[in-house]
Amino acid sequence: MATEQSMTVKAPWSAPSLPPTVLWFGVVALAWAALAHFQRETVAILWQWMPHLAAGLRMNVLISALAIAIGTLLGAIVGALELSHRRWVGAPARGYVQVFRNTPVLVLIFFTTYVFPFEIRLGSLYLAFPDWIKATLGLALPASAHVAEIFRGAILSITSAQWDASASLGFGRSQTLRWVILPQCVKRVLPPWMNLYAMITMSTTLASLVGVTELLESAKNASNTVNRTDFTVLIYLAVLTLFFLYCYPITRFTTRLERKYAFH
Amino acid sequence: MPPAHQPPERPPLVELRQVHLSFGSNHVLKGIDLNVRKGDAVSIIGPSGSGKSTILRCINGLLTPERGEVVVGDTPVHALRTEAERIALRKRIGFVFQQYNLFPHLTVLENIVLAPVRILGVARETAEREARELLAKVRLADKIDAYPGQLSGGQQQRVAIARALAMHPELVLFDEVTSALDPETVGEVLSVIRQLVEDGMTCLLVTHEMRFAEEVSHEIVFTDGGEIVERGTPRDIFHAPRSPRTHAFINGLRN
Ligand SMILES: Nc1ncnc2c1ncn2[C@@H]1O[C@H](COP(=O)(O)OP(=O)(O)O)[C@@H](O)[C@H]1O
Ligand SMILES: [Mg+2]
């Protein structure tokens, strides 16, 4: 196929295939079965702490979902701007990407936490600006820079013949982007985007360092309160498992989307 | 045989005057003069690299010449500056590419209706009805829901022609549209173009299908090295060329 000649970006870090995941699932399940048998009492304590951990996990889910949503929206726009023929549009966009890709995420989280006020005044209305939202922004900024690069790469991987064909039909540049180029990018963008989502999910634990009570912080609280080594080991194993249970469906969903957009 | 030459008072639809264009230090077009009158089919022949595609791209504004004039109808293409002006021009000109360049993520139907709906603002039902008629015309009615990747080269090229026609162009430019095809599918594409010429569509074709060019064209233009070496009726160019370069090119193809 003519269009197949354009390179298909094969990411080395594309979504994991099924067999290893199933294996990993089995190992985790087995470990928990063994623990429930040999460490009945500690597991019972863990069970009591479950609502506390679940509340923590909810915060991770919230932060990561919001950060990836903001990051994707912002990143798609910045990525398109990076390719603008107008220098005063392209250069700032590329600068934005360089700055936020090359700054440690933790620094950005500290930055957004201490730079933004704790509340925003809208006329006579005071809106609270809680730490978890600031941490979300701290994650969304580097995410948007990564998404911009992912989109830019995907857009550049579409042959110029598609631009020519579209222009010849009377499409302008932004219309070509909207109707012809970006829809073809979806498939190429999914694997690295998925990888980014997983990375952001992991990074949500950094929010604990600016006082957000998320899963890791909840686990630390529990561990300090119970103050037993076997419980500490167990609760961090639980944290691991919960993160896995959150990330795994994302992987599966992305694989499904990839198949849906496999049009050639 | 094509009809005898039309009366000269018919104004040209496309006119190129002394068009020059370079890519860096590569001087590709060296003063091209060309006329295509409304309703005519003109074929450009010539060796690869002689600037044939570049000529077509100057006509629909994908490229802008450094010097010279390109006029389509009463639009001075060489003087267009804004994207909006170029879009207005391109709506009137169909372009069919050697590599088809269909949109791989869209079905055949969506490929054809996308531009009429998004660019011309045609109602979706109207656009779909016309797409069905066009697909029947290029004998692909049964492929309406297929993706380009599921079609042969000849089928994809016929969809590409239907996609161009869906914009109701005044003029269609064909750039070696059979060169990428398997020999057995060349005929089905040529017969679609032949029908178009018979219906009175103004066509400018770059082609290596000499027998076809001779049969359908009102005029043949032979280019070599960025110049127009010779132009004339198919009979003159193919059977009584004046230039030794034309003679050599045509004999080279025969052997
Ligand atoms: N986009 C481009 N950039 C640089 N050089 C080009 C480009 N397009 C065409 N050329 C050069 O211009 C010359 C004429 O090309 P082209 O018009 O495609 O010839 P033809 O269609 O007759 O084979 C060739 O030497 C080709 O390498
Ligand atoms: Mg060419």
Predicted complex ipTM: 0.93
In the chain, the amino acid numbered A38 is F
Q: Which of B22, B26, B29 to mutate to test the pocket of ligand 1 (most atoms within 8 A of CB)?
A: B26
Ligand 1, atom 17: nearest CA belongs to which residue? B51
Confidence of residue A187 (pLDDT cuts 50, 70, 90): confident
Lowest-confidence pick of A210-214, B120-124, B214-218, B243-247: A210-214
User: A247 pLDDT exceeds 90?
Assistant: no
Question: Residue B1, class by beta-carbon neighbours within 10 Å (0-12 exposed, 13-18 middle, 19+ buried)?
Answer: exposed
Centre a 10 Å sphere on the Cβ of residue B233 and count the other Cβ atoms it contains.
18
Q: What pLDDT does A9 receive?
A: 44
**A106 pLDDT tier (thresholds 50, 70, 90):** very high
CA atoms within 13 A on the CB side of B140: 31
The pLDDT mean for chain B works out to: 94
CA R_g for chain A: 22
Query: What is the structure's pLDDT at A250?
Result: 81
Task: Return d(Cα A50, Cα B84) in angstroms, integer.
Answer: 61
Q: What CATH number should be reported for the domain holding residue A103? A: 1.10.3720.10
Statement: residue A245 has pLDDT above 90: no
Q: How far apart are CA B50 and CA B26, in angstroms?
A: 12
pLDDT tens digits along A201-224: 989 999 998 888 999 999 999 999
Mean pLDDT of all residues belonging to chain A: 87
Per-residue model confidence (pLDDT) at position B245? 95
pLDDT tens profile A31-70: 888 888 888 888 899 999 999 999 999 999 999 999 999 9
Which residues make beta-bridge pairs with B220? B43, B232
- Kindly write down the DSSP assignment for every residue of B133-161, as one continuous string: HHHHHTT-GGGTT--GGGS-HHHHHHHHH
Nearest to B103 among A164, A172, A180 (CB): A180
| Token representation of residue B71 | 């006029």
Give the residue among B31, B90, B44 at the shortest CA–CA distance from B204. B44
Give, to the nearest 10 degrees, the angle between helix A229-260 and helix A215-226: 160
**Is residue A199 in a domain?**
yes
Tell me which amino acid residue B136 is: A
CA distance A58 to A236: 17
State the pLDDT at residue B203: 98
- Backbone φ and ψ of B33, nearest 5°: -115, 130
In the predicted model, is pLDDT for residue A1 greater than 80?
no
The pLDDT of residue A10 is above 60: no
* Residue A188: band (very low, low, confident or very high) from pLDDT cuts 50, 70, 90: confident
Q: Across-strand partners of B26?
A: B23
Lowest-confidence segment of A21-30, B28-37, B56-65, B211-220 by average pLDDT: A21-30
In a domain? residue A178: yes
Q: Which residues of B206-221 are buried (b: 16+ CB within 10 A; e: fewer)?
A: bbebbebbbebbbbbb
Torsion angle in degrees (nearest 10) through CA of B60, B62, B63, B67: 30
Measured between alpha carbons, how far is B181 from B88 in angstroms, rounded to an integer? 32
**pLDDT per position as a tens digit, B71-90:** 999 999 999 999 999 999 99
The CA distance from A170 to B169, in Å, is 11
Measured from the CA of B206, which atom of ligand 1 is nearest? 21
**Is residue B5 in a domain?**
no
CA of B208 to the centre of ligand 2 (A): 10
Q: What is the pLDDT of residue B2?
A: 55
Res B70 pLDDT > 70: yes
* Residue B215 falls inside a structural domain: yes
How many domains, chain B? 1
Which pLDDT band, with edges at 50, 70 and 90, does A25 fall under? Answer: confident
Domain count, chain A: 1
Distance of CA B138 to the CA centre of its chain: 17
Q: Is the pLDDT of residue A12 over 50?
A: no
pLDDT grade for B8, boundaries at 50, 70 and 90: low
- Pure H helices in chain B: 52-59, 83-90, 108-115, 124-137, 153-165, 183-198, 210-216, 234-239, 244-254
**Residue B103's closest CA among A165, A185, A5?**
A165
Task: Give the list of residues 6+ apart from residue A174 with CB closer than 8 angstroms, or none.
Answer: A80
Instruction: Name the amino acid, one letter, at A116.
Output: F
Assess if residue B64 is contained within a domain: yes
pLDDT digits (tens, 9 = 90+) for B140-150: 999 999 999 99
pTM: 0.82
Is B129 strand, coil or helix? Answer: helix
CA distance A51 to A259: 37
Q: How far is CA A121 from the centre of its chain?
A: 30
Q: Choose among B69, B93, B60: nearest CA to B17.
A: B69
Average pLDDT over residues B51-70: 96
- C-beta atoms of B103 and A168 within 8 A: no
- pLDDT at site A128: 81
pLDDT score for B255: 60
Residues from B in contact with A at Cβ < 8 Å: 60, 62, 83-84, 86-87, 90-91, 93-95, 97, 99-106, 114-115, 118-120, 147-149, 156, 163-164, 167, 180
Pairing of strands B219-224, B41-45: parallel
pLDDT of residue B9: 64
Q: Over pLDDT 70: what percentage of chain A? A: 92
Q: Which of B149, B220, B234, B163 is closest to B192 using CA atoms?
A: B163
Judging contacts by C-beta atoms under 8 Å, the chain A residues touching residue B115 are 169-171
Q: What is the DSSP letter of B76?
A: E
CB-CB contact of B186 with B218 (8 Å): no
> Which of A14-23, A234-243, B40-49, B133-142 comes out lowest in average pLDDT?
A14-23
Q: What residues form DSSP beta bridges with B44?
A: B206, B221
Note the pLDDT of residue A8.
Answer: 44
> Computed from CA positions of residues A242, A244, A245, A246, in that sequence, does the dihedral angle turn out positive or negative?
positive
| pLDDT band for position A75 (cuts 50, 70, 90) | very high
Q: What is the pLDDT of residue B137?
A: 95
In-domain check, residue A1: no
Distance A264 CA to ligand 2 centre (A): 26
Predicted confidence band of residue B27 (pLDDT cuts 50, 70, 90): very high
In a domain, A32, yes or no: no
In this prediction, residue A86 has a pLDDT band, given cuts at 50, 70 and 90, of confident
Examine the pLDDT at A7 and tell me if it is beyond 60. Answer: no
CA dist., res. B125 & res. B75, Å (int): 32
CATH number of the domain bearing residue B240: 3.40.50.300
pLDDT greater than 90 at residue A6: no
Residue B200 belongs to what domain range?
A: 10-254
Residue range(s) defining the domain that contains residue A131:
39-260
A161 against A19, higher pLDDT? A161
Per-residue pLDDT, A18: 58
Mean pLDDT of B157-168: 98
Q: Which of the four pLDDT bands, split at 50, 70 and 90, describes residue A251? A: confident
Q: Is residue B1 part of a domain?
A: no
Q: Which two tokens stand for residue B94?
A: 């169909």
Q: Please choose, from the candidates B220, B212, B229, the residue with its C-alpha nearest in 3D space to the C-alpha of residue B177.
A: B212
Q: Please indicate whether, in this complex, the C-beta atoms of A4 and B149 are within 8 angstroms of each other.
A: yes
Between CA B30 and CA A213 the distance in angstroms is: 72
Nearest-by-Cβ selection for A179 from B84, B95, B118: B118
d(CA A117, CA B225): 69
